[in-house]
Structure formats: C-alpha cells, structure tokens
A and B are shown apart, each in its own frame.
Chain A
Amino acid sequence: MEPIKDYLQVQEAINRYVNQDVYIHLETTNGAYASHHDQTFFSAGAYIRNAQVRYEIGKITGTDPYRVGLKINLGWIYAEGLTHFEVDEQNRLLLAGHDNKGKLAVALEISPTPFE
C-alpha cells in the first residue's frame, strides 16, 4: 500500500465501480487487547465482509487522513481515518487507515468479485 498523496488517484479508482455490483469489506478496530492494556479504554469496532452493494456516488474528501463515502441503493457506507491505498492485482480498491505504529485502525475495500 502507499500513502494517499494524490486523492484524485483514489477518486478515479472509486469512479470505476459506480453503478455496478461490488463487494465491500469495511472494518474499524482498536484491537482485541485495547481494554486489557488500559482498563479505562472503551474498545469498540465493527466489521462487515462481502456486503454486495451498488453505489451511485462515491467520493473521497478531507486532507490526510481522508474520508470516503459511498451513496448506495438504499443508504450509505462511510469510513474515516484513511491514510493508504492500493489497487491490487485483482482490481480491488483497498483503502486503510494506519496509526503511527503501523497498526490498522480502519479498512474500506471495494471489489468487483467476492472477497475470499
């Protein structure tokens, strides 16, 4: 993955999948050990894999870190804290937000085929 420097590159990748069936991986996480290491920490996260959707608008906004929102058939998908991206060999757009220790905190991935 590389840092998102030119958000237009990401915007172009998002545009490629407008108005077609795509599969979404979306997660946020503090890690399973956050409350173990700091008992005052309220750990929360959410995860969905292989949600099939269609979006009519997809947009990247913000300045590093970035936000991405997808306006889907009946609602919305949204992620914030995105720092890195990659279009992999399977033409999937992988977006992730990593903290300063290199730990993943958020991921939003858009794929034309189901994730494994």
Chain B
Amino acid sequence: MEKERHVLVIFPHPDDEAFGVSGTIATHVQNGTPVTYACLTLGEMGRNMGNPPFTNRENLPKIRKEELKAAAAALGIQDLRMLGYRDKTVEFEDDEKLANAMLSIINEVNPSLIITFYPGYSVHPDHDATGAAVVRAVEKLPAAARPKLHCVAFSNNCVEELGEADIVHNISAVADKKLAAIQAHRSQTEQMFGDVTEKLKNQDPQMMVWINNERFWTYKFKN
C-alpha cells in the first residue's frame, strides 16, 4: 500500500468503514499515516433492534455513537468527526452546502488520499449522496491540487459498468483489527457475527477472500 501523507475517510454511517475499508485504515495507521474519519450520521434509522429488542428508535443513536468511537479506537484512528447529519436524509440536504462542508474538511486536513463511496454505485441513498458531495467538493479544487479519490462500490451493476476495481488491498496482516472494528459495531453486526466467526474458524475460502481483500475504484473526474 502506497504511503500517504494523510488519509481522509468520509462515510455516512457508523459501520460503513468496518467491512469495506477498515483493513486499509488500520494499515495506514500502522504506517504512521494520520487518518481522519468523518462520519456524517449516527445511523439513527438502523433497523436492528434485536429479538427481544435491546434498544429502541430513540436510544439507538446513543449506542451507535459509542460503537463508532470503539471501532475508531480499535483501528487507531485519532481524528474521528461526527458531522451531525441524520440517517436517510443526506440526499435531501442542500447539495452545495453539503459539498462545501466536505470541502472545508478537505481544506483543513489536506489529505493525499480520500476514501468514500462511489456515487451511483453504492446502493444506499446516503452512500451515493455522500460520495457525490465528496466528488463535488474535490472538483472545486484545481485538477493539479486534488487528492486521490478511492471509492467503494457494491451495487449489483458496479463491475458491469465501472469494470473491475483497479485497487485491491490484501489486508490479511491486520485482519484482527478489522474483525475488532466489525465487532465494535455490535448492534449492527452481532446477529451476523455468529455466522462470520464460524466461517473464519473453518477458514471458509469465500469468507477469507471477502474479509482479506478490500476493493476500490479510483474516481475518474470528468473535468
């Protein structure tokens, strides 16, 4: 993995970082690169309440906030920012204001690499809206001054339309940190985690490929 000056990760929900990019984050941290994680919402509209329920609609964000902090700590992220937007409403915010909010973080942090979602190929409306806002923000910078932009995509048509990911990081060296980050988001992952633990124990080949390889598409700017 190329050594970066500063990595800025921008996602809308606590746990968006866990599955797709936490190994990459942990590797950058291990390389001594500062990582800033800007998380737009607290996942207020999450649906996992447990059976029997362990929380409710109003208390879920408090739980997820603590989980986000724990995941960031597990990965060694020192600069975690919670931006105070609300889950499932990001796409309805003022586009220009949202882009400017992203730009002010970019200008402050001055990252050499930004990681976010690929707009249009990331399934959840908040994912697409966040990625689009980051793209608009970076487009405001002169082409020569733009940081690299690595995007996560997972819509059913992403490979068909974008081609295969041009960056694949094998993160097996830090898989333990990745699993700790996934586990930190207990309210969201515990249900599926029983299954994951079992498959890991058996070194399930599909699961190992999924856990150990993090895929990114370098964003291609039109202007």
Contact = CB atoms under 8 A, between A and B. Distances in A.
Contacts of B191: 101-102
B190 to A, nearest CB: 10
B169 interface: no
B51 A100 contact: yes
Interface string B52-80: 11001110000000000000000000000
Contacts of B45: 27, 29, 47
A32 B49 contact: no
B124 A96 contact: no
Most chain B CB inside 10 Å of its own CB: which residue of A2, A86, A104: A104
Contact of B57 (A2, A3, A94): A94
Given A1-B49, A32-B124, A33-B123, A88 B155 contact: no
A40 interface: no
B53 A102 contact: yes
Contacts of B58: 88, 92, 94, 109, 115-116
Contacts of A33: 123-124
Q: How large is the interface on A (under 10, 10 to 19, 20 to 34, 35 or more residues)?
A: 20 to 34
Interface in B13-61: 45, 47-53, 56-58
B125 interface: yes
A94 B125 CA distance: 27
B155 A103 contact: no
Nearest to A94: B56
Contacts of A100: 51
B123 A84 contact: no
Contacts, number: 62
A31 interface: yes
Contact of B123 (A36, A88, A102, A105): A36
A25 B123 CA distance: 26
B152 to A, nearest CB: 14
A96 B56 contact: yes
A77 B126 CA distance: 27
A36 B155 contact: yes
A105 B48 CA distance: 10
A107 interface: yes
A70 B50 CA distance: 28
A104 to B, nearest CB: 5
B51 A25 contact: no
B88 A104 contact: no
Given A36-B155, A39-B156, A103 B124 contact: no
B129 to A, nearest CB: 12
Interface of B: 45, 47-53, 56-58, 88, 123-126, 155-156, 191
Given A32-B123, A94-B58, 13 more contacts: A32-B124, A36-B123, A47-B88, A92-B58, A96-B56, A98-B49, A102-B50, A103-B49, A104-B48, A105-B47, A107-B57, A115-B58, A116-B58
